[in-house]
Amino acid sequence: MLLDGRAPSGSIEDSWERHLLGLRLIAPAKRGYFRVLVVGTGLAGASAAATLGELGYNVEVFCYQDSPRRAHSVAAQGGINAAKNYTNDGDSVKRLFLDTIRGGDFRSREADVWRLSQISNRIIDLCVAQGVPFARDYGGHLENRSFGGAQVSRTFYARGQTGQQLLLGAYSALSRQIAAGRVKLFPRTEMLDLVLKEGAAKGITVRDLVTGKIRSHTGDAVLICSGGYMNVYNLSTMARGAGVGAIWAAYKKGAYLANPCFTQIHPTCIPPTGDYQSKLTLMSESLRNDGRCWVPLKVGEARPPNLIPEEERDYFLERKYPSFGNLAPRDIASRAAKEQCDAGRGVGPTGMGVYLDFSRAVGRHGKKSIQDRYGNLFEMYERITGEDPLKVPMRIYPAPHYSMGGLWVDYNLMSSIPGLFVLGEANFSVHGANRLGASALMQGLADGYFIIPYTLPNYLAGTRPGDLSPDAAECGDSRKNVEGRVSDLLEVKGNRPVAHFMRKLGSLMWDKAGMMRSADSLKEALREIRTLREDFRSEVRVPGRGDSLNSQIEAAGKTRDFLEFSQLLCLDALHREESCGGHFRIEHQTPEGEPRRDDENFCYSAAWEFTGEGSEPVLHKEPLTFYHVPLEVRDYR
Amino acid sequence: MSGSGDRQKVMTLNLVIWRQAGPDDSGRFETYAAKNITGDHSFLEMLDVVNEDLILQGKEPIEFDHDCREGICGACSLVVNGVPHGGQSRTTVCQLHMRNFRDGDTIFIEPLRARAFPILKDLVVDRGTLDKIIQAGGYISVNAGSAPEANSILIPKESADYALDGAECIGCGACVGACPNGSAMLFAGAKVSHLAALPQGRPEALQRVVAIVDVMGQCGFGNCSNHYECQAACPKGIDVKFIAKLNREYLKAVIHGFAARTVSDLGQPVED
């Protein structure tokens, strides 16, 4: 079945403005009759909840952390893009649009990307007004730096902690609305089910992580802003608590899940060291402004890096992609690094690493200036590895980082379930098959500050407020279902801790459905997941009780969701017989090892519909048409 | 907690950990062995190993807050050998690595202890009072949609840098746990200073500082008596100069009549 994203047609330059004029409004005095439930307090959730509060809606906002300020947007380091052209290097809304479409390898919806590029500038204005202390030059103007996949400097930043500063901006706006009584906050609360009435999203069922109580909350619309699913892989850069639960609950209630196989592997993370490890730490892409990636030319090189002469080094990104060099997009840089390691030229104790070298930049700009730019990142690196990057080149390796796939949404950010909206990383929209650096922060805030405040009222205007009460049968059924699922976990009483299953699943996903996939490896993954699911059902041990703080219940629930979700990811990867962006099928590559896209057969978003336990999901295709940018082979050489 | 040690050498550590079943339990220390730990384990990964062992033995694992594990979310909050985050300079406990300990060391692990942070279970405390401080005024009142062009108000680089020095706070509460008075003055000072240093934050600066100081008292935080333990424990190196700045802003508010107190009240002991 063909799916319609309901994007405006015609000229793209004024498509959003034209669309806005057609949206229904709700008068200020009437907004207080509506209640909106927001799940997640990262950039998307916090900005949406705050803005809807400012407009006069009643909002309830939920996060699993003890404070909204800890959502994982906080960990984004490098920056946020905007088409301000402050650097006078030829940037424009159109150029940001083109870079993002190309960066996504032509697998995103044109109109959505245009709107994002357009809105980017207003985000910077708002964040500055909120007191976000972006980097400035000595004249007091905002500074910019470069990021991957662009030949202009359009990235705004606050040292190496831009995500933290933007999130604190959104969190402060949210806090202001909490104080004003417009927003009610439920921290340490996890969404476990979506409640529908007559097919529309009207509530959620949650578990209070302190008391273990299962409650239903009802409203007139539900916004899922719960982030991505990259913890399906072992050792990702995600927060430990980040799961796929909210997305999966919505999927099981009928929301389509699109392009789950579009996963981003970030090229510059601190390499893994051992089995006990709980996560990998990212080193910002911004480091590739001044750092140069290289490996020794000789296989099995034993000399320390500073004793390897220039002519015996391979600066592989500069060699392969001379026009973008070290700032090639993430999918390309990651594969290039892995290729070197697979060929035996990897460095460090495990051979899983390439050097990121700052010595030329230090020679050119001086130690102080490089220290100023990346000081806190260098410090972080040294704490983890015990090595000083100004003396010894950093060692980096790719790691799972961001999911471009997610719940399918139309141009209004509404999923296939009326009243269920999805924002930020949790939706599938604008990044196609590969996200460019510094675009995630931009998208989360665009969705929350400047899109949902317009598109949500259009939906609400056609509903009757307060349609469902928490005492209704729909909520009771949902609570019963959730309670059953929690006690199922406690009752297995097996002999293996939850962590065992998550590690096993994550490792097999990384090996067989990670950076490079083949039909064989994916089928193998599906077989192994099936066995692992059965083992989980009979062998997992969840200690303690359900009626108190018990983080093992959360971990077990997350693992169960990932065990199910991982199958859909593999299925999607198996069906997409092409390579594009972060989805690299080894059967589909050029003789030079570059991905080979198949626009004839796969120029669509794949949206999957749940059809019941044990039955195959149904595929819906949303065809992608490119009117304003010619479909072409991405070329960063 | 000195000594570097061989990174790959396997260590056994003797852990003395605070266990408390819930807010109403009185709590006690219990002893555990952490085996097969290398220098590359982070402190929390070491606890993961202990917890997996406990689960296999049919016991309840130790609850502790954590999330990003890269030192930025502020969730982790352990007090290690009496010092929040373990005392390595500018390091959260999730980034503290076991290479800083020696084989056979005894390590005491406790929750943050402060009147404003009730213990929920084991090492998990409720830090919701820090959110209350931000809700009282830790923001600039601007609605989405009404912001002027970003470069229309120039901000000297020094002011932006100073603001970011304060804004770097991760809200972990180590300052409160380290302070003998359980004071949140460093946390509040960092936020007040961040916003007061920017032109956008000036219009509300005086109301803000008064509202925040009032709420700190209501939440059960103590006052500052210049021990500077907060700065020593802060994993982001937030400077106590921000407490001085908070006091100066408060004095301004008193002079301009924004506070309930008057100039002649100043210097009198403050009831918290």
Q: What is the pLDDT of residues A293-322, one digit of tens each?
A: 999 999 989 999 999 999 999 999 999 999
Q: Is the dihedral of CA A447, A448, A454, A458 positive or negative?
A: positive
State the nearest Cα–Cα gap between A102 and chain B, in angstroms.
28
- Pick B56's closest partner by Cβ from A128, A134, A497: A497
Least confident range from A94-103, A383-392, B243-252: namely: A383-392
* pLDDT score, position A485: 97
Choose the mutation target among A41, A175, A270 for the interface with B, i.e. most B CBs under 10 Å.
Answer: A175
Query: Looking at per-residue confidence, does A623 or A635 come out higher?
Result: A623
- Pick A66's closest partner by Cβ from B65, B91, B145: B65
Q: What are phi and psi of B214, to 5 degrees?
A: -60, -45
**Residue A278 and residue B48 in contact, taking contact as beta carbons nearer than 8 Å:** yes
Please name the residues in contact with A12: beta carbons below 8 A apart, sequence gap of 6 or more: A110, A111, A114, A627, A628
Please say if the pLDDT value at position A450 is more than 90: yes
Q: Which CATH class is domain B127-265?
A: mainly alpha
Query: Looking at per-residue confidence, does A273 or A219 come out higher?
Result: A219
Q: Which residues of B touch A126 (CB under 8 A)?
A: 142, 144-145, 147
Round to whole Å and give the CA distance between A290 and A272.
23
Q: Is B24 exposed, middle or buried (0-12, 13-18, 19+ CB in 10 A)?
A: exposed
CA-nearest residue to A180 within chain B is B135
CA-nearest residue to A56 within chain B is B143
* pLDDT score, position A5: 96
The verdict on a CB contact (< 8 Å) between B135 and A240 is no
Residuewise pLDDT in 10s, chain B (272 residues): 333 445 568 999 999 999 999 999 999 999 999 999 999 999 999 999 999 999 999 999 999 999 999 999 999 999 999 999 999 999 999 999 999 999 999 999 999 999 999 999 999 999 999 999 999 999 999 999 999 999 999 999 999 999 999 999 999 999 999 999 999 999 999 999 999 999 999 999 999 999 999 999 999 999 999 999 999 999 999 999 999 999 999 999 999 999 887 777 665 655 54
* pLDDT score, position B5: 43
- Residues of A classed as catalytic: 330
CA-nearest residue to A239 within chain B is B68
Query: What is the separation of C-alpha A158 from the centre of its chain, rounded to a whole number of angstroms?
Result: 20
Please state whether A4 falls in left (phi above 0), alpha (psi between -120 and 50) or beta.
beta
Q: Which residues of B touch A187 (CB under 8 A)?
A: 128, 131
The verdict on a CB contact (< 8 Å) between B45 and A178 is no
* pLDDT score, position B4: 41
Flag whether residue B265 sits within 8 Å of chain A, measured between CB atoms.
Answer: no
The verdict on a CB contact (< 8 Å) between B55 and A384 is no
CA-nearest residue to A54 within chain B is B143
* pLDDT score, position A269: 94
Choose the mutation target among B13, B43, B133, B134 for the interface with A, i.e. most A CBs under 10 Å.
Answer: B134
- Pick B55's closest partner by Cβ from A168, A273, A543: A543
The bridge status of strand A394-403 relative to strand A183-186 is: unpaired
What integer best gives the mean pLDDT of chain A? 96
The verdict on a CB contact (< 8 Å) between A140 and B56 is no
Choose the mutation target among B68, B121, B123, B198 for the interface with A, i.e. most A CBs under 10 Å.
Answer: B68
Flag whether residue B124 sits within 8 Å of chain A, measured between CB atoms.
Answer: yes
Give Cα separations from A195 to A60, A159, A416, A418 (angstroms). Answer: 15, 42, 14, 12
- Pick B167's closest partner by Cβ from A66, A133, A137: A133
The verdict on a CB contact (< 8 Å) between B70 and A279 is yes
Give Cα separations from A215 to A66, A192, A194, A417 (angstroms). Answer: 18, 10, 12, 22
The verdict on a CB contact (< 8 Å) between B167 and A548 is no
* pLDDT score, position A169: 98
**Residue A404 and residue A297 in contact, taking contact as beta carbons nearer than 8 Å:** no
Give Cα separations from B92 to A159, A551, B76 (angstroms). Answer: 19, 21, 7
Of how many residues is chain A composed?
Answer: 637
Give Cα separations from A529 to A449, A508, A553, A564 (angstroms). Answer: 39, 8, 21, 8
- Reported as half-sphere exposure (CB side, CA atoms, 13 A), residue A409 has a value of 31
- Pick A131's closest partner by Cβ from B99, B140, B145: B140
* pLDDT score, position B268: 60
- Pick B160's closest partner by Cβ from A133, A161, A449: A133
State the nearest Cα–Cα gap between B268 and chain A, in angstroms.
30
Please say if the pLDDT value at position A543 is more than 50: yes
Reported as a single tens digit per residue, the pLDDT across A131-176 is 999 999 999 999 999 988 899 999 999 988 999 999 999 999 999 9
The CATH number of the domain covering residues in B11-121: 3.10.20.30
* pLDDT score, position A384: 87
Domain boundaries, chain B: 11-121, 127-265
Flag whether residue B85 sits within 8 Å of chain A, measured between CB atoms.
Answer: no
Reported as a single tens digit per residue, the pLDDT across A488-540 is 999 999 999 999 999 999 999 999 999 999 999 999 999 999 999 999 999 99
Cβ count near A28 (within 10 Å): 9
Average pLDDT over residues A606-616: 96
Q: Which residues of B touch A164 (CB under 8 A)?
A: 72, 168, 170
Round to whole Å and give the CA distance between A158 and A156.
7
The verdict on a CB contact (< 8 Å) between B68 and A179 is no
Q: Which residues of A touch B134 (CB under 8 A)?
A: 69, 171-172, 175
* pLDDT score, position A405: 98
Please name the residues in contact with A362: beta carbons below 8 A apart, sequence gap of 6 or more: A370, A390
Average pLDDT over residues A367-390: 88
Q: Which residues of B touch A495 (CB under 8 A)?
A: 56
CA-nearest residue to B36 within chain A is A276
Cross-strand bridge partners of residue B36 = none
State the nearest Cα–Cα gap between B211 and chain A, in angstroms.
12
CA-nearest residue to A278 within chain B is B45
Round to whole Å and give the CA distance between A230 and A232.
5
| Domain B11-121 matches domain B127-265 at the CATH topology level | no
**Residues 90-109 of chain B whose Cβ lies under 8 A from any Cβ of chain A:** 90-91, 95, 97, 99
Q: What angle in degrees, to the nearest 10, is found between the helix axes of A551-575 and A519-539? A: 160
Q: Number of CB pairs < 8 Å for A and B?
A: 219
Domains of chain A: 269-401 (3.90.700.10), 473-618 (1.20.58.100)
The verdict on a CB contact (< 8 Å) between B147 and A274 is no
Percent of chain A, pLDDT > 90? 91
* pLDDT score, position A2: 87
* pLDDT score, position B2: 36
Please say if the pLDDT value at position A418 is more than 50: yes
Of B85, B52, B123, the residue nearest A66 (C-alpha): B123
State the nearest Cα–Cα gap between A374 and chain B, in angstroms.
14
Please say if the pLDDT value at position A371 is more than 70: yes
Dig out the tokens for A409 from the structure: 């949404």
The bridge status of strand A221-224 relative to strand A35-39 is: parallel
* pLDDT score, position B1: 37
Average pLDDT over residues A103-113: 97
